[in-house]
């Protein structure tokens, strides 16, 4: 009977060892697969981070270009307004000067009116 117990114990231990080895092999394969997936994910994250940084630099460049264009547009607008104000002042000066001239009451020729774009 002791021999049978030893045999059952030996078989149980052998089966336990085989099941343990199979489980360890399975876990090892799962670990390798997960490690490969982790490396792939890490590379994907690094690639996406690099793309994100490149897009960030591009956006910063576009924002700077937009700001420079806005400043140029503002300067142009100020210059146009200044030129219009100057033109109106000059027109008023001319009207004041020619007010007492006999040509003041006569209409200007069409060719002169076409060249006067101050409004």
Query: Can you tell me the distance from the alpha carbon of 66 to that of 106, in angstroms, rounded to the nearest whole number?
Result: 50
pLDDT, position 117: 62
Query: Can you tell me the distance from the alpha carbon of 27 to that of 40, in angstroms, rounded to the nearest whole number?
Result: 20
pLDDT, position 96: 83
Per-residue pLDDT tens digits of the chain, which is 119 residues long: 777 788 888 888 889 899 999 999 999 999 999 999 999 999 999 999 999 999 999 999 999 999 999 999 999 999 999 999 998 999 888 888 777 777 667 777 777 777 776 55
Q: What is the pTM of this model?
A: 0.53
pLDDT, position 66: 97
pLDDT, position 11: 86
Evaluate whether 87 touches 118 at the Cβ level (below 8 Å).
Answer: yes
What string of DSSP letters covers 45-73?
HHHHHHHHHHHHHHHHHHHHHHHHHHHHH
pLDDT, position 53: 97
């Amino acid at each position: 009977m002791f021999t049978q117990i030893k045999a059952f114990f030996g078989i149980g231990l052998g089966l336990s060892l085989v099941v343990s080895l199979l489980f360890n092999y399975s876990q090892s394969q799962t670990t390798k697969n997960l490690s490969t997936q982790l490396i792939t994910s890490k590379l994907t994250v690094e690639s996406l981070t690099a793309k994100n940084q490149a897009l960030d630099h591009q956006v910063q460049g576009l924002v700077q270009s937009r700001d420079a264009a806005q400043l140029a547009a503002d300067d142009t607008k100020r210059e146009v307004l200044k030129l219009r104000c100057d033109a109106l002042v000059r027109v008023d000066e001319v009207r004041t000067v020619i007010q007492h001239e006999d040509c003041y009451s006569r209409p200007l020729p069409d060719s002169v009116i076409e060249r006067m774009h101050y409004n």
